[in-house]
């Protein structure tokens, strides 16, 4: 089977998948962003469409005060008796929550909190009697023991009330690598298999497996763990782990998992963060699985997206700790977007409306009217790691300011253009190789980001900034690049959102 990799590009970590009536459904983590937990669908496992999101209402996630890097962690999607389930940890918030829906597009329930689960990365399965088993990583997230890790644990739960019926019990602590997490429990023949991630979600990440005749008993580790890892290799996809298995209608077993695509002379910086990849799994005669290495095979050609604001926002827009609809004004300037400023991008609740960067090489642009406010376009990892291009118009001229912000350092560049709307662009382009005349410092990084403003026929490049600081290896959060529109003060009007990308 030839799999496009990344399977789901851009900020899409911690994937989980299920097959229902010939269609695959896949969900990923979203942390402090809303809507939360995108739902993707595919009938061939190659072409995927985002059909909705699980968390579309603020009360479902209660993310208003979720610290950066916490929030919606590691969902698992399952299906039983005509009902879809997504179980997830809302770290720093509601805890372990189960959402249900009759259709994967939603609407999804408000969520049931499972009070007896003290940990992260929950999985959901059912025993032969229909009792729900929640298997999770025993990382303590609050109280005096915060940070303590108890290995892989499990409880029996009542999914009608959230009550713990039995447990917690210890199943397996992994093979000795750090952070045993992301457990998934499967029934295959007479065996129950427990697949986990360990080694941390960075370069040491890997997938290990164990099995038992009894899903509640201690698990025996496999003879060849980890069954998947890119650690200490030069493979173009690194940090491979956090896998979930799904069987195909033709009898194959596939694994969806997270990984990164590092660039630079030493594969040091991953601009897009953790993305969703896939590989094939094979079952040996002794019943143990092996996994193929994860091969890079990105979709070729140009990705073009030209969005207008003459219709309701689609499901691909993101906002921070609140819904896109709560900040997007589509009425004040029909056919355009108005954002009402309420603080800068370092705020915990910035007026920022964004979409995932999907390609290693990408351009995002919008025409910005800043005659009644201050705002522009930005690429964001978190509050302290953001590059922005801001316009402010005093009626006689427009001042455009490019700003690169990383923890502890802020640098800016300004230019003056005629009064009136200006087109602002952020351009992410690969670093030149040595054969193209690049110097050593440039060869070592992931990419460069160019800040460009246009008024009439005049283009002004304000700055070209090293992109390594907007990468999974340097940003403190677990997210990825989100490209968006923002307002700091007043009313800023945006005419369109234009994205183009490729894998060159």
Together in a domain, 184 and 158: yes
In this predicted structure, the answer to whether residue 434 has a pLDDT above a threshold of 60 is no
The predicted pLDDT at position 442 comes to 83
Cross-strand bridge partners of residue 388: 378, 403
Residue 485 tokens, joined: 């529109």
Q: Which of 58, 51, 49, 53 is nearest to 7 (CA)?
A: 49
Give yes or no for a contact between 269 and 430, defined as CB atoms under 8 angstroms apart. no
Exposure class string for 415-444: b at 16+ Cβ within 10 A, else e = bebeeebbbbbbbbbbbeeeeeebeeebbb
CA 69 remoteness from chain centre: 11
The predicted pLDDT at position 438 comes to 59
Q: Which of 230, 244, 247, 246 is nearest to 292 (CA)?
A: 230
- How many helices and strands (H and E) does the chain possess? 2, 34
* CATH number of domain containing 436: 2.60.120.200
452: domain range? Answer: 303-502
328 — phi, psi (to 5°)?
Answer: -90, 120
The predicted pLDDT at position 100 comes to 98
In this predicted structure, the answer to whether residue 435 has a pLDDT above a threshold of 60 is no
* Confidence bin at 314 (pLDDT 50/70/90): very high
Residue 224 domain flag:
yes
pLDDT (average), residues 450-469: 95
Residue 4 domain flag:
no
In this predicted structure, the answer to whether residue 173 has a pLDDT above a threshold of 80 is yes
d(CA 478, CA 202): 11
Together in a domain, 353 and 495: yes
pLDDT (average), residues 279-308: 95
Number of domains in the chain: 2
d(CA 27, CA 84): 12
Element (H, E) at 486: strand 482-502
In this predicted structure, the answer to whether residue 443 has a pLDDT above a threshold of 90 is no
44-55 pLDDT tens trace: 999 999 999 999
The predicted pLDDT at position 239 comes to 97
The predicted pLDDT at position 436 comes to 55
The predicted pLDDT at position 142 comes to 79
Residue 454 domain flag:
yes
The predicted pLDDT at position 82 comes to 96
Together in a domain, 148 and 186: yes
The last residue of a domain, from among 252, 271, 291: 291
Together in a domain, 343 and 215: no
Residue 347 tokens, joined: 């705020």
In this predicted structure, the answer to whether residue 198 has a pLDDT above a threshold of 90 is yes
In this predicted structure, the answer to whether residue 437 has a pLDDT above a threshold of 70 is no
The last residue of a domain, from among 232, 264, 291: 291
359-415 pLDDT tens trace: 999 999 999 999 999 999 999 999 999 999 999 999 999 999 999 999 999 999 999
172, 173, 176, 177 alpha-carbon torsion, rounded to 10° = 110
Residue 235 tokens, joined: 């493979």
Catalytic residue among 121, 123, 181, 392: 181
Together in a domain, 370 and 286: no
Mean pLDDT of the residues in the chain:
95
3-class DSSP state for residue 117? coil
Cis peptide before 83 (omega within 30 of 0): no
Together in a domain, 332 and 255: no
Residue 389 domain flag:
yes
Q: Who has greater pLDDT, 477 or 226? A: 226
In this predicted structure, the answer to whether residue 335 has a pLDDT above a threshold of 70 is yes
Question: Helical H runs in 352-448?
Answer: 440-443
d(CA 185, CA 336): 48
In this predicted structure, the answer to whether residue 357 has a pLDDT above a threshold of 70 is yes
- Asked about 181 being catalytic, the answer comes back as yes
* Confidence bin at 124 (pLDDT 50/70/90): very high
The predicted pLDDT at position 451 comes to 98
Together in a domain, 121 and 159: yes
Together in a domain, 396 and 332: yes
The predicted pLDDT at position 122 comes to 98
Together in a domain, 248 and 343: no
pLDDT (average), residues 143-164: 91
pLDDT (average), residues 473-479: 91
Together in a domain, 309 and 271: no
d(CA 373, CA 452): 20
Provide the strand spans (E) within 83-179.
Answer: 83-91, 95-101, 112-113, 120-126, 132-139, 149-157, 164-172
The predicted pLDDT at position 141 comes to 81
The last residue of a domain, from among 263, 291, 319: 291
* Confidence bin at 232 (pLDDT 50/70/90): very high
The predicted pLDDT at position 144 comes to 83
In this predicted structure, the answer to whether residue 97 has a pLDDT above a threshold of 90 is yes
- Asked about 325 being catalytic, the answer comes back as no
For the whole model, what pTM was predicted? 0.96
Q: Choose the weakest-confidence range: 193-197, 298-302, 436-440.
A: 436-440
The predicted pLDDT at position 408 comes to 93
Together in a domain, 417 and 309: yes
The predicted pLDDT at position 167 comes to 87
In this predicted structure, the answer to whether residue 483 has a pLDDT above a threshold of 80 is yes
SS (H, E, C) 351-371: EEEEEECCCCEEEEEEEEEEE
The predicted pLDDT at position 440 comes to 72
* CATH number of domain containing 166: 2.115.10.20
Residue 380 domain flag:
yes
Q: Choose the weakest-confidence range: 8-22, 173-187, 434-448.
A: 434-448
Residue 257 domain flag:
yes
In this predicted structure, the answer to whether residue 201 has a pLDDT above a threshold of 80 is yes
Q: Choose the weakest-confidence range: 161-170, 430-439, 488-497.
A: 430-439
Residue 5 domain flag:
no
pLDDT (average), residues 259-276: 95
pLDDT (average), residues 28-43: 97
Together in a domain, 307 and 286: no
Residue 137 tokens, joined: 């990583």
236 — phi, psi (to 5°)?
Answer: -70, -15
Exposure class string for 20-58: b at 16+ Cβ within 10 A, else e = eeeebbbbbbbbbbbbbbbbbbbeebeebeebbbbbbee
In this predicted structure, the answer to whether residue 439 has a pLDDT above a threshold of 80 is no
Long-range contacts of 398-402 (CB under 8 A, 24+ apart): 398/370, 398/422, 398/455, 400/376, 400/424, 400/453, 400/460, 400/462, 401/462, 402/451, 402/462, 402/463, 402/465
* Confidence bin at 1 (pLDDT 50/70/90): low
Residue 297 domain flag:
no
d(CA 408, CA 377): 22
The predicted pLDDT at position 278 comes to 98
d(CA 419, CA 240): 49
Provide the strand spans (E) within 190-285.
Answer: 191-198, 206-212, 220-221, 228-229, 238-247, 253-260, 275-283
């Amino acid at each position: 089977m030839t799999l496009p990799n990344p399977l789901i590009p851009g900020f899409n970590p911690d994937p989980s998948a299920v097959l229902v009536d010939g269609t695959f459904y896949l969900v990923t983590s979203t942390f402090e962003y809303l809507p939360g937990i995108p739902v993707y669908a595919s009938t061939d496992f190659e072409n995927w469409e985002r059909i909705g999101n699980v968390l579309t209402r603020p009360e479902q996630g209660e993310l208003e005060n979720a610290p950066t890097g916490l929030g919606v962690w590691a969902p698992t999607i399952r299906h039983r008796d005509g009902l879809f389930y997504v179980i997830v940890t809302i770290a720093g918030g509601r805890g372990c929550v189960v959402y249900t829906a009759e259709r994967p597009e939603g609407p999804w329930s408000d969520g049931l909190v499972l009070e007896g689960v003290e940990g992260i990365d929950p999985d959901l399965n059912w025993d032969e009697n229909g009792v729900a088993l929640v298997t999770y990583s025993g990382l303590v997230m609050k109280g005096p023991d915060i940070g303590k890790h108890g290995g892989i644990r499990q409880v029996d739960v009542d999914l009608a009330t959230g009550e713990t019926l039995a447990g917690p019990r210890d199943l397996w602590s992994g093979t000795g690598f750090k952070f045993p997490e992301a457990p998934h429990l499967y029934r295959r023949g007479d065996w129950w298999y427990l697949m986990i991630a360990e080694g941390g979600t960075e370069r040491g990440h890997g997938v290990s497996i164990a099995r038992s005749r009894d899903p509640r008993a201690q698990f025996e580790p496999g003879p060849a763990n980890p069954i998947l890892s890119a650690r200490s290799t030069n493979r173009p996809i690194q940090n491979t782990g956090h896998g979930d298995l799904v069987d195909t209608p033709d009898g194959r077993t596939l694994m969806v998992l997270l990984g990164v695509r590092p660039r630079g002379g030493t594969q040091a910086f991953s601009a897009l963060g953790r993305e969703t990849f896939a590989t094939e799994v094979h079952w040996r005669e002794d019943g143990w699985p092996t996994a193929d290495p994860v091969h890079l095979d990105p979709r070729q050609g140009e990705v073009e997206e030209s969005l207008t604001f003459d219709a309701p926002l689609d499901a691909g827009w993101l906002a921070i700790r609140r819904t896109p609809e709560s900040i997007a004004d589509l009425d004040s300037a029909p056919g355009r977007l108005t954002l009402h400023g309420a603080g800068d991008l370092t705020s915990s609740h910035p007026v920022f409306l964004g979409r995932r960067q999907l390609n290693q090489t990408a351009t995002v642009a919008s025409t910005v009217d800043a005659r009644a406010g201050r705002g522009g376009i930005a690429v964001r990892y978190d509050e302290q790691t953001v590059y922005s291009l801001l316009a402010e118009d005093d009626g006689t001229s427009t001042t455009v300011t490019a700003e690169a912000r990383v923890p502890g350092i802020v640098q800016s560049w300004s230019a003056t253009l005629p009064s009136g709307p200006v087109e602002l662009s952020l351009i992410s382009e690969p670093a030149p190789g040595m054969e193209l005349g690049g110097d050593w410092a440039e060869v070592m990084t992931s990419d460069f980001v160019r800040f460009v403003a246009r008024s009439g026929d005049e283009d002004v490049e304000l700055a070209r900034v090293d992109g390594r600081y907007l990468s999974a290896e340097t940003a403190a959060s677990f997210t990825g690049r989100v490209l968006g529109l923002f307002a700091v003060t007043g009313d800023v009007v945006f005419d369109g959102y234009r994205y183009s990308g490729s894998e060159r």
